[in-house]
Amino acid sequence: MVRSVLTEAHTLHPACNANFQLHHLQVGSNEPGTVSAILLILDARQTERTFMAVILDKATLPRSLSVNLDHMATLRQVRRTTYPSLTTAAGICEVAGADGVTLHLREDRRHIQDRDLELLRETSLLPITLEMGSTDEMVDIALRNRPHAVTLVPERRQELTTEGGLDAVKLAPALESVVGRLKEQGIIVCLFLEPDPAQIDAAARLKCDSVELHTGAYALDWEKSRTDAISNHLSRIGAVVRQGVELGMQMNAGHGLHYQNIRPLAALEGLTEFSIGHSIICRSLFVGLEKAVREMGALIRQWTS
């Protein structure tokens, strides 16, 4: 099966000639319409990386993109100005085909402010996901504003960005009432977790609607071109995605994802939503926000046609 996929890749992909090495990263199922293999193509000096997925037949893999606007707010907060406007940004995301916007209201309010959430709740045509710590203050804010979804994340004041997943196993007793209170108000509840089977089981026991898998470690290994580690991350993520789907939860992913490392993840069957911020906002400096969102949307959805 792997050999035939590799042969097929050589004929399908123009980059697969004698100067390129083909690394097979992951083999999926043999079912029509599913991803049968993910391949990494490296040039001879291992500098240029291209990914492709071999899909046995055309499939409809549902995919959605929620654009994280935190770093639009970071730019505003460094000068405490009124611009750039997050409501304008959310409107452009909508025009560009995004499926949602995400805001992380941190305890220290370093980027998103309470007023951003209120304004976006009044004006955004897109569903809003609120990322937050599971504190009483944040739960009150969520219940007052009633975003479409809440993603519960761990939060440490000193961290540059969210550095790991929640420990849902250890925190289960405390999380139970938070999850229950949010769900009672019709808010979709998601936990930000490491791709660890015990964590996925804990989320299901807490009756969470969805899980966002922390892709930070995958992204770090990607930057170091560690092929074996990338392959291991993809296998681990693929396995917990299957586990979560079987347990009835929607499986999402986010953190550190950009226009290159998104490709093999977007090809994984069962992942639904990608929460992406920093890379999109950075790219928007050069190509504009609409194009940056459209390009990421296309990378996520290219496996559907």
Where in the sequence numbering do the catalytic residues fall? 104, 131, 255
CB of 28 or CB of 277, closer to ligand PXP? 277
Contact string (CB under 6 A) for ligand PXP, positions 74-113, x = contact: ------------------------------x---------
Q: Out of 68, 124, 231, 243, name the contact with ligand PXP by CB under 6 A.
A: 68
Contact string (CB under 6 A) for ligand PXP, positions 225-254, x = contact: -----------------------------x
Answer yes or no whether residue 36 interacts with ligand PXP by CB under 6 A: no
Q: Out of 194, 277, 292, 299, name the contact with ligand PXP by CB under 6 A.
A: 277
CB of 123 or CB of 161, closer to ligand PXP? 161
Q: Which region, judged by CB under 6 A, interacts with ligand PXP, from 36-44, 138-146, 237-245, 272-280?
A: 272-280
Q: Which region, judged by CB under 6 A, interacts with ligand PXP, from 2-10, 17-25, 118-126, 277-285?
A: 277-285
Least Å from the CB of residue 220 to ligand PXP:
11
CB of 145 or CB of 279, closer to ligand PXP? 279
Contacts of residue 224, defined as CB under 8 A and 6 or more positions apart, other chains included, come to none
Per rule CB under 6 A, count of chain residues that contact ligand PXP: 19
How many whole angstroms separate alpha carbon 178 and alpha carbon 176? 6
Answer yes or no whether residue 278 interacts with ligand PXP by CB under 6 A: yes
How many whole angstroms separate alpha carbon 121 and alpha carbon 148? 9
Answer yes or no whether residue 133 interacts with ligand PXP by CB under 6 A: no
Q: Out of 117, 153, 262, 299, name the contact with ligand PXP by CB under 6 A.
A: 153
Least Å from the CB of residue 228 to ligand PXP:
23
Contacts of residue 253, defined as CB under 8 A and 6 or more positions apart, other chains included, come to 212, 213, 215, 237, 265, 271, 273, 274, 275
Nearest CA to 205 among 151, 247, 170, 152?
247
Contacts of residue 214, defined as CB under 8 A and 6 or more positions apart, other chains included, come to 162, 164, 165, 192, 193, 194, 195, 254, 255
Binding footprint of ligand PXP on the chain (CB under 6 A): 68, 70, 104, 131, 151, 153, 161-162, 192, 212, 254-257, 275-279
